[in-house]
Structure 1
């Protein structure tokens, strides 16, 4: 009996061993098949998916076989990729717009990291920076700007300060803002010099206006008071003086209005103007000063075609010539004051020459005559009704016209103004 049990146990043991060996062999076969066929096929399909994603294409079909799970996985990945491509496209567009906005701003815009290295910087005010440096401490040339950045860092708050850089003789508005979420700093630098200059020009303009108007008003008031008790023999002289001061005030106001018009209206309106219309209008406009000075005004036209028209902005050209003609008579001590206006038509330009036999201009003062309120010393001491604004108006109009003006003058022998304007 014991022998039979022993035999049965041995057979069971053998069967168990065979089954274990069989399953081991079967697992080996399955592993071998998986590694060499299933796994390789899976890798191949995954590599196809990877290649598709790396290509960045949003529309492309690839063969993945009939495995439903990998097909489902592929659909999810493809949808995810399309969404990402759409988001990337939006970000690229937003980045392009932001770059254009930053470039269009007239300030230097700089993003600094926590170590004050340049992260983003537009191309404005490049003269403030060293090109090869990437840290703002070494990359910004002027200590005045660096001190504002350091102040923002030490105080750990936003700073907005206007500074003056002596080496450049310019004013700058520096703004430093800390971006707490990213430990970065946004730095902007704006050149405030033009704005400062405009304010200074306005201040001087108002001061000069007040002074120019105050002088004739004081004279008028004084002579009116004196006129009440003055003897008949001097009343006419007082009245003449009052009239001259009234004329001066009128000229100042007209010139102020002309300057205001020129600065607010830069459009050139070209029209056909005949020689007769231009000369007649100017003669009528300056008739008073011609009669008063017993002067002579002549015109000469040389156009490319006979009886043709001038293609000019009538209002602006007459304003230029009226100022130059009036100056030619006002600043003239000759017994026979004379102003000659010559207009020549070139192929692309008109050349206008206005010549007088007046007091002339010293060579070292020719460059100053186009400044507002400037008058040569002899004109200041003489009792004339000039405002010192006429030539500044002339220069402004010619500048808007994209033309040029030159002055030839000799003291005591008159002046010649040569103007070139495009057709």
Structure 2
């Protein structure tokens, strides 16, 4: 006769074994995955650093070996990254940590071999030079179009990875141990509950099936059962599952409805007959229609765009995904959309319609154009003085230095152009700092309500010498008690820029004046207006809308002769915005200009 074991011992060991295997497998997988992920992220990060340095390294290789070594040492120390430049034959040209002349050839290292073949190489190994584990990433460095590429290698210590992995292993071990203990407790509790007396289950099932109860059967435990459960209350399970499914379906419907309505992307669903099934609020705003539009409406009456209709029909006909970038015009402005249309299928995977998702990328494109223009302008402004400096230095090297008078003249020109470069960089740094203060909500500009006269008088004193050189008369009209909410240093910088422009573009014996006064636009809001007026050459009407753009010049030749960087008015604009104010300009060509800075009172 076969000995029958209690049901508890048939369930508890199996469940515990399964949980143990699952916990160990998940722990191993999580640790391995994180290590791989962290390694890949480190490789991508170091590769990005290398790509940023690539062009500078190539320029320095062509310049001199010492300049390359100095750059690698300086940059490597600041970035806490070891930088190594390797020639195609494996010879180290420069290294941020060691003397390259004393280093052995690196051509056989795995990451260098990959770089020589034109690919990015990486490795993690122990460095004999630094006596620690290091990440190495090397990219190809095309020293000459006809030759085998060299390599630019960056490396950082792997201490962080080892520390993180050690911490994660400890935490995973503790979590696994806790999970196993809890699983053992829960499995034991579950096994005890399953092994309730068979008679109680049968009685509860009979009462439920006969209608004596309208709820699930509740079993009262009196101890462990030694018998296998021979009957499961099917009605109890069906009732419980039905209740859970109803609750789950209702909750899921509400969640999907909330997500669909709050999506920033425009979403439109159509059926196989090209009739609208659903659209969210974003789609309603995009197409200027009511989101509650009926199902009978044809999609042509909603979209009204040939390219979008063609994408929908292509998806409906071929049951394939379609992606494209579409530009639509609503009569007032153009909107650029990234559109993706995917087929809708039923449970049998049969096509029943299409779902179109549209993301408005107009602003992103506009910002990209601004970024591209800014980079082009900066490159042009920097290249001009660099070209001049390079030309005169080459002339001096070719023998011009032997002629004392010409050499002195050339050096003065080089000094002037270097000063212009320094001015451009200073203005760029100032503009970046002011923009960061304006855009970053977490950074608060230190504004105080103080008198304006000291700030305006300080700006006049700064520009007084420049005005005396042209015999220009400066005047200030400002009530002594006039106050405004401002940052004195930034406001003085803005006024110096406006005064310098006025003096630069005014003729000799002219007049430049500053006037400050209080204004009240309505019963609540007060403003302080600071105007800078000159009687100079003025600005043509077609330039007024763009005068505050970076590097925009009305008269490029005259601006460069005067030493201007093209950033002064852009700085003034961002200083005004950082104060919560504005700057405006009025000008008549040939008669002068008036710049008005408005600040909160």
With the length of structure 1 as denominator, give the TM-score of the two structures: 0.69
CA deviation map 1:77-118 (0-9, x unaligned)? xx9999999987876666565445444433211233343432
Shift of 1:224: 3.4
Shift of 1:399: 4.0
Shift of 1:145: 0.9
Shift of 1:374: 1.6
Does residue 269 (structure 1) correspond to residue 446 (structure 2)? The answer is: yes
- State the match for 1:57 in structure 2: none
CA deviation map 1:176-221 (0-9, x unaligned)? 2234345443321112222112122111111111111111111222
Report the Cα distance in structure 2 between the residues aligned to 1:318 and 1:97, rounded to whole angstroms: 55
- State the match for 1:140 in structure 2: 303
Shift of 1:390: 2.0
- State the match for 2:485 in structure 1: 311
Report the Cα distance in structure 2 between the residues aligned to 1:301 and 1:96, rounded to whole angstroms: 63
- Residues 8-23 of structure 1 aligned to structure 2 (within 5 Å): none
- State the match for 2:278 in structure 1: 120
Does residue 335 (structure 1) correspond to residue 512 (structure 2)? The answer is: no
Note if contact 1:130-1:140 (Cα within 8 Å) is conserved in structure 2: no
Report the Cα distance in structure 2 between the residues aligned to 1:366 and 1:198, rounded to whole angstroms: 22
- Residues 273-422 of structure 1 aligned to structure 2 (within 5 Å): 273-275=450-452, 277-279=454-456, 281-283=458-460, 286=463, 289-290=466-467, 293=470, 295-302=472-479, 306=481, 309-332=483-506, 334-336=507-509, 338-347=511-520, 348-377=526-555, 380=558, 383-422=561-600
Does residue 72 (structure 1) correspond to residue 212 (structure 2)? The answer is: yes
Structure 1 residues 301 and 283, CA, compared in 2 at 3 Å: closer, same or farther? Answer: same
Note if contact 1:128-1:142 (Cα within 8 Å) is conserved in structure 2: no
Equivalent in 236, 247, 256 of residue 419 of structure 2: 247
Does residue 108 (structure 1) correspond to residue 248 (structure 2)? The answer is: no
Structure 1 residues 321 and 99, CA, compared in 2 at 3 Å: closer, same or farther? Answer: farther
Residue 387 of structure 1 aligns to a residue whose secondary structure is coil
Shift of 1:314: 3.1
Note if contact 2:325-2:336 (Cα within 8 Å) is conserved in structure 1: yes
CA deviation map 1:262-289 (0-9, x unaligned)? 3332154321334464135434654674
Residue 361 of structure 1 aligns to a residue whose secondary structure is coil
Shift of 1:225: 3.7
Note if contact 2:463-2:496 (Cα within 8 Å) is conserved in structure 1: yes
Shift of 1:163: 2.6
- State the match for 1:33 in structure 2: none
Report the Cα distance in structure 1 between the residues aligned to 2:251 and 2:557, rounded to whole angstroms: 64
Structure 1 residues 415 and 91, CA, compared in 2 at 3 Å: closer, same or farther? Answer: farther
Shift of 1:142: 0.3
Residue 214 of structure 1 aligns to a residue whose secondary structure is helix
CA-atom RMSD in angstroms: 3.8
Note if contact 1:247-1:385 (Cα within 8 Å) is conserved in structure 2: no
Structure 1 residues 276 and 260, CA, compared in 2 at 3 Å: closer, same or farther? Answer: same
Structure 1 residues 151 and 293, CA, compared in 2 at 3 Å: closer, same or farther? Answer: farther
Shift of 1:327: 1.1
Shift of 1:404: 3.3
Report the Cα distance in structure 2 between the residues aligned to 1:272 and 1:355, rounded to whole angstroms: 25
Taking CA–CA contacts closer than 8 Å with sequence separation of 6 or more, which of the two structures ends up with the larger relative contact order? 1
Structure 1 residues 180 and 93, CA, compared in 2 at 3 Å: closer, same or farther? Answer: closer
Gaps of 5+ in 1: 1-67
CA deviation map 1:375-398 (0-9, x unaligned)? 112754761111222223323343
Note if contact 2:457-2:476 (Cα within 8 Å) is conserved in structure 1: no
Shift of 1:326: 1.8
With the length of structure 2 as denominator, give the TM-score of the two structures: 0.51
Structure 1 residues 151 and 259, CA, compared in 2 at 3 Å: closer, same or farther? Answer: farther
- State the match for 1:158 in structure 2: 321
Shift of 1:75: 5.6
Report the Cα distance in structure 1 between the residues aligned to 2:255 and 2:490, rounded to whole angstroms: 42
Structure 1 residues 69 and 366, CA, compared in 2 at 3 Å: closer, same or farther? Answer: closer
The count of aligned residue pairs is 352
Shift of 1:243: 3.6
Note if contact 2:453-2:479 (Cα within 8 Å) is conserved in structure 1: no
